[in-house]
Structures are given as structure tokens and as C-alpha cells.
């Protein structure tokens, strides 16, 4: 039998190679953005007007030779603007918002920091991919934990109080009057602290299986002055303490759990009869082909390096994946005995679901 060699289109090959050049530059830029953030280079450039590398190095107490090379890479990627006549660099106002304004929903350094942490840990993921073993959330470098907090917080600041909680039936009134809330898989407590600031009459319990995250969450609550009403405890989602909760929240963590079905059953029995479970999950369609876009690409990549190994490291190891989609989340929720499940809000990055007993 004769086989025919597939014909390679040289133009298509070269166009793929040049796309790869762009991607390698972008991959390396992940480290350079984190470097610029940690060294204060973007913050020093923001609103400063055009600076020479020497001026930027002096303002940030860094070495001019590194700063000059970093600026060249930033200019080549369009992150900073370069004026060849003066030899000076400046940060365009839009980049200044995205790279330095922590209060903006467009703030990006956390996104790069969690990506860098994921890449740093990728050799270990490559090893466990041979056997199907897992790597837990607790087992990552701190850039993953801190980057996660800094990546998600701007979105929660922008949407949680003004849009997501009001989209839940009757929940805001309960929170205003004094509700009992569990924030499960709370990480560094960005969502818990935000809710505790807004609703001083309510009591918030933040739970996470990672002791390092719980320690940081306690510090965040104390810094924000809400530690009288927000307390944190190490506990897995399938057995966090307490019952009669008016609201249980899970922010970007259900799919990370080994046994999301067990967690759903536990939430069901921990809720008050008229309580609400709010589930915030990454935006995703039900079919792979719905998610073949830039957001889906980033989330499938995080899912390969963080979420799937985290779930596989735990009992059951269901490994839903960060792009599970509504149908799979609905099945887990309704199988656990919830009578209603509906999508109440969405952004380009998240979908918010409401489940009621």
C-alpha cells in the first residue's frame, strides 16, 4: 500500500513560525512584567513623563544596565512607548491603568504573576502527567497564591457587591440585616474581606484546605479592620464547620476540588432551609469548541498546570477542569439535592450561579 506525504505549505509554515516568535516573546514577557511590577518600574514610569533608563534606574534604586534592557523589551512589545529622538521611554495612560492601578478591573500584574508561578512549577506538572498523580494548591510557589489573589480581586471589586450579590434572590437584604456566611475555598480571603467591609452586621467564616492561605487571609482581614466579623479556619469544602448558613459562596474553586460532588452535598446540609449557594466559576461554554478563544486558552492552560493537578491530588480526583461549563456544574449541584440552579450573572471571565435547597 502506498502512502502519500502530506503537502507542507511553506507560507503557512513560516507564518506559524513567526507566530511562535511572538508567543515566545510573550512568554518571556510574563517574567518581565512581574519583574517590572516587583521592582516598581511601571509605577515609577506612570505619570512621570518620558524618562531615560538612567533616570528610571535612579528613581527605582535599580541597575541602569538591566533597566535599559528591560525597557527595550517593553518597547518592542508595546508595553512602553519609546521616542528615538530623545532616547526616552514613557508609559501610555492605558498601560498605566492596566499595570499600576490596583483599583481598576483592568489591572493585570496578578494575571502575569499567577502565570509565572504556574510556569515555574511546570517541570513538576510534566512529571506527574506521566502517572496521573496530582499536585495540590498548597504545593505551589507563592507567586501562584499571591498572583491568584491579585488576579481575582479586581474583578470581585468591580462586580461582587454591585452586581453578583444583588442578582441573588433576597440575599442582599439578609446581608444588610445580619447574615451568616461561609466563603469556602477562600484563598487569601479577597472576596470574604470585601463582603465583610460592605455588610458589617453579617458574620463571615472563610474556609480553605491550605493553611498558608488561611494565615494570609487572617492578616488581610486584620489589615482591613474586619477581623471582628470575618474569621478564617483551615477546613476542606466537604466538611467545613457550622450550619444554618444564609449564604455559602465559592469563588473560582469548585473545579479545583477533588470531590466537588461531596462538597455540594456538604453545602446542602450546612445551608439554612432558605439559604443560597453562590458559585462563581470561570466563564466557559459546555463544548470544547465554545472555548477555543483567548480566554478559553488561558483557562485551559491554567487548568492543565494548576486546577487539574489540584483536583487530582485530592480524594476522588474528579478533575472537572477550569472550563467545565454550566451543564457539568448544574449536574453536580442538582445531584446533591438542590432544587433550583440558575445562571444569574456573567462577565467575560466568570459565570455566577445561584443554587437553592
| 77 vs 105 by CB, closer to ligand SAM | 105
350 binds ligand SAM (CB under 6 A): no
194 binds ligand SAM (CB under 6 A): no
Q: 1 Cβ partners below 8 Å, 6+ apart? A: none
Please state at what angle helix 109-120 crosses helix 142-159, rounded to 10 degrees. Answer: 150
Q: Which residue has the cell 497564591?
A: 145
3-class secondary structure, 234: strand
110 binds ligand SAM (CB under 6 A): no
Which of 247, 271, 267, 253 has the alpha carbon at shortest distance from 213? 253
Segment near ligand SAM (CB under 6 A); pick from 91-99, 117-125, 202-210, 331-339: 202-210
Segment near ligand SAM (CB under 6 A); pick from 42-50, 121-129, 253-261, 337-345: 253-261
| 36 vs 282 by CB, closer to ligand SAM | 282
186 binds ligand SAM (CB under 6 A): yes
Mask 308-337, x = binds ligand SAM (CB under 6 A)? Answer: --x---x-----------------------
Length of the chain, in residues: 357
Segment near ligand SAM (CB under 6 A); pick from 3-11, 203-211, 288-296, 343-351: 203-211
Q: Which residue has the cell 538612567?
A: 54
Report residue 266 as a C-alpha cell. 456538604
3-class secondary structure, 280: strand
Secondary-structure percent of the chain, ordered helix, strand, coil, rounded to 5: 50, 15, 35
281 binds ligand SAM (CB under 6 A): no
Segment near ligand SAM (CB under 6 A); pick from 14-22, 183-191, 281-289, 290-298: 183-191
| Cα–Cα distance measured from residue 312 to residue 258, given in angstroms and rounded to the nearest whole number | 6
| Cα–Cα distance measured from residue 288 to residue 338, given in angstroms and rounded to the nearest whole number | 27
185 binds ligand SAM (CB under 6 A): yes
| Cα–Cα distance measured from residue 257 to residue 308, given in angstroms and rounded to the nearest whole number | 9
| 115 vs 253 by CB, closer to ligand SAM | 253
| 32 vs 190 by CB, closer to ligand SAM | 190
Considering only 187, 205, 275, 325, the residue that binds ligand SAM (CB under 6 A) is 187
Amino acid at each position: 500500500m502506498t502512502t502519500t506525504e502530506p503537502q507542507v505549505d511553506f507560507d503557512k509554515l513560516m507564518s506559524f513560525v513567526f507566530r511562535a516568535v511572538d508567543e515566545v516573546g510573550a512568554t518571556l514577557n510574563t517574567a518581565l512584567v512581574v519583574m517590572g511590577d516587583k521592582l516598581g518600574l511601571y509605577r515609577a514610569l506612570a505619570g512621570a513623563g518620558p524618562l531615560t533608563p538612567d533616570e528610571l534606574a535612579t528613581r527605582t534604586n535599580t541597575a541602569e544596565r538591566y533597566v535599559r534592557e528591560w525597557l527595550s523589551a517593553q518597547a518592542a512589545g508595546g508595553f512602553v512607548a519609546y521616542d528615538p529622538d530623545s532616547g526616552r521611554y514613557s508609559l501610555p495612560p492605558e498601560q498605566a491603568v492596566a499595570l499600576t492601578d490596583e483599583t481598576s478591573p483592568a489591572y493585570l500584574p496578578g494575571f502575569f504573576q499567577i502565570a509565572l508561578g504556574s510556569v515555574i512549577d511546570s517541570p513538576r506538572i510534566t512529571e506527574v502527567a506521566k502517572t496521573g498523580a496530582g499536585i495540590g494548591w498548597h504545593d505551589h510557589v507563592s507567586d501562584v497564591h499571591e498572583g491568584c489573589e491579585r488576579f481575582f480581586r479586581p474583578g470581585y471589586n468591580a462586580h461582587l457587591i454591585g452586581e453578583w450579590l444583588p442578582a441573588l434572590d433576597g440575599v442582599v437584604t439578609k446581608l444588610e440585616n445580619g447574615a451568616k456566611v461561609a466563603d469556602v475555598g477562600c484563598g487569601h480571603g479577597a472576596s470574604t474581606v470585601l463582603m465583610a467591609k460592605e455588610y458589617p452586621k453579617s458574620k463571615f467564616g472563610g474556609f480553605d484546605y491550605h493553611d498558608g492561605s488561611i494565615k494570609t487571609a487572617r492578616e488581610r482581614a486584620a489589615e482591613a479592620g474586619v477581623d471582628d466579623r470575618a474569621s478564617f479556619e483551615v477546613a476542606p469544602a466537604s466538611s467545613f464547620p457550622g450550619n444554618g448558613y444564609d449564604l455559602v459562596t465559592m469563588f473560582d474553586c469548585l473545579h479545583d476540588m477533588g470531590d466537588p460532588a461531596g462538597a455540594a452535598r456538604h453545602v446542602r446540609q450546612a445551608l439554612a432551609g432558605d439559604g443560597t449557594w453562590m458559585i462563581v466559576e470561570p466563564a466557559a461554554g459546555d463544548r470544547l469548541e465554545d472555548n477555543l478563544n483567548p480566554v478559553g486558552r488561558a483557562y485551559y492552560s491554567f487548568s492543565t498546570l494548576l486546577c487539574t493537578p489540584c483536583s487530582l491530588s485530592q480524594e476522588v480526583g474528579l478533575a472537572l477542569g477550569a472550563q467545565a461549563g454550566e451543564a457539568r456544574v448544574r449536574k453536580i449541584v442538582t445531584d446533591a439535592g438542590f432544587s433550583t440552579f440558575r445562571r444569574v450573572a456573567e462577565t467575560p471571565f466568570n459565570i455566577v450561579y445561584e443554587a437553592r435547597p
